[in-house]
Amino acid sequence: MVLPELKRRRDKIRLLMAQQHIDAALIACNVNLLYTCGQIISGYLYLPLESPACIFVKRPNNITGEHIHPIRKPEQIIEILKEQGLPTPETIMLEGDELPFNEYNRLAAMFPESKVVNGTPIIRQARSVKTEMEVEMFRHAGTAHAQAYEKIPSVYREGMTDVELSIEIERLMRLEGNLGIFRIFGQSMEIFMGSLLVGNNAAEPSPFDFALGGKGVDPSMPVGASGVRIQRGNAVMVDYGGNFNSYICDMTRVFSVGGLPEEAYRAHQVCLDVQETVASMAKPGAICEDLYDAAMNVVTKAGLADYFMGIGQKAKFIGHGIGLEINEVPVLAPRVKMELEAGMVFALEPKIVLPEIGAVGIENSWVVTTEGVEKLTLCKEEIVDLLG
C-alpha cells in the first residue's frame, strides 16, 4: 500500500490523539496494524503525535525500510526509541479493549513514567470514516459479492439441505476471490463466512449479537445453517460477508423454492420500504437513533413490529458500520446519538421473520457521501425463485 494512504490513516488517529492530549500510541492488534501498516505483522507500530511512525517487527523477518526495526521482544522498543532520540510520552494509548490482559500489562510496564490510556475507541473512530481508497475497495468488493450471489440459483438442486447449499455458496464466493476470513470486533463473536437461514431456523436464538441467529450444526458454532432440508414454502435467506480485499461488505438476499405465501412478499416489501426510508434520510449529520426510529415507524404502521429483526429474541439494531471488521461504528440503534459523516460505510439490514416461512428482508452496504448515501452492493432485491 502506498505511503501517502497510510499517512492519511495515521494522521486521522493523530488528530484524535491530539484532541485528548495523548502523545503516542503503541498498536499491536492485527486489524489495527493492517489499517496503519498496510499488512499484518507480528510486531508493533509506535505512533508519536508529531514524529514519523516506527514499525517494530518480530515476524516476518523480510520487512525492511526506513523506520522499520527488527525485534525479538517488545521491551527492545524502548531502547530503540531512545536511540532515535524520541522522548518518553507523558500519555500513551494501548488497545485496551482488544489486547489480552497479560499483553496489555506487559506493554504498559514498558512505560513506567507514562499515563497509559485505552486507545481502542480512538482507533475505531478514526477507522469509521473511510478514505477514498478504502471506499473504492468497498466498491470492488461489492461488485464481486453481487457476482457470486447472482450465481446462487445455478448451484441449487432440489432436495438439498441448508448446509449443502451453504457449501456451494461458499465455493461461489471463494471463486470470486473471497478471502474467507470474517473479522469481528469483540469477544465471543464467531461465524464462518456468513449464514444461510431456512424456514423456522431463522427464528432460532443464538448467543451471538447478529441480526438473526440460527441453530447451527454443532454447539461449538451455534449460528446459521442447521442441516434442515430446504422445503417448498420456506424462505431461504443468504447473508454472507464479502471480504474480497480485506474490506468486508455485507449483503443479504432471499430466495424461494417454487414461491412463498403472499404474506412473505408483503413483509419483504415492507423491508424494502424501510430501506428506502432510511436511505432517503441518511446523510452527514443524520443521527443513528433517528434512522432506527424511522425504520420502526414503517414496520409498526405495517403491523409487523412483532416480527421485525427476529421473534422471541430480537436484534436491537437495523444497521452497523463495516470495514476491516464486520461490526464497526456507526450502529443504527436506539440511544445511539452518533451523527453520520461523509466517508462512513454501513450495512442496513431490515429483516422480518415469519413463523413457518422464515426470514425475508434485505441487506445492502452503503457509503455516506456529502449529500446522501451510495449503495455499494447492486444485486436483484426481489425474492428470487431458485427454480427459475
CB 289, CB 335: distance < 8 Å = yes
Distance CA 238, CA 254 (A): 6
**Coil, strand or helix: which one is 64?**
coil
The C-alpha cell that represents 90 in the structure block: 507523558
In tens, the pLDDT along 263-298 reads 999 999 999 999 999 999 999 999 999 999 999 999
* pLDDT mean over 237-247: 96
Helix (H, G, I), strand (E, B) or coil at 144: helix
Checking if the pLDDT of 3 tops 90, the result is: no
SS3 146: helix
Q: Pick left, alpha or beta for residue 310 (phi over 0 → left; psi -120 to 50 → alpha; otherwise beta).
A: left
In the block, which residue shows the cell 480485499? 245
Torsion angles phi and psi, residue 344, rounded to 5: -70, 145
Is the model's pLDDT at 98 over the cut of 90? yes
| Sheet hosting strand 384-385, strand order edge to edge | 194-198, 236-243, 248-256, 384-385
- Range with the poorest average pLDDT among 1-15, 318-332, 370-384: 1-15
| pLDDT tens digits, one per residue of 197-233 | 999 999 999 999 999 999 999 999 999 999 999 999 9
pLDDT category at 255 given cuts 50, 70, 90 is very high
Report yes or no: 260 and 235 within 8 Å, Cβ to Cβ: yes
What residues does 375 pair with on adjacent strands? 366
Burial class (CB in 10 A: 0-12, 13-18, 19+), 266: middle
pLDDT digits (tens, 9 = 90+) for 338-367: 999 999 999 999 999 999 999 999 999 999
Q: Which domains does the chain have, with CATH numbers?
A: 3-126 (3.40.350.10), 129-385 (3.90.230.10)
**Nine-digit cell string for 200:** 423456522
Task: Decide: helix, strand or coil at residue 256.
Answer: strand
Cα torsion through 279, 282, 283, 286, rounded to 10: 170
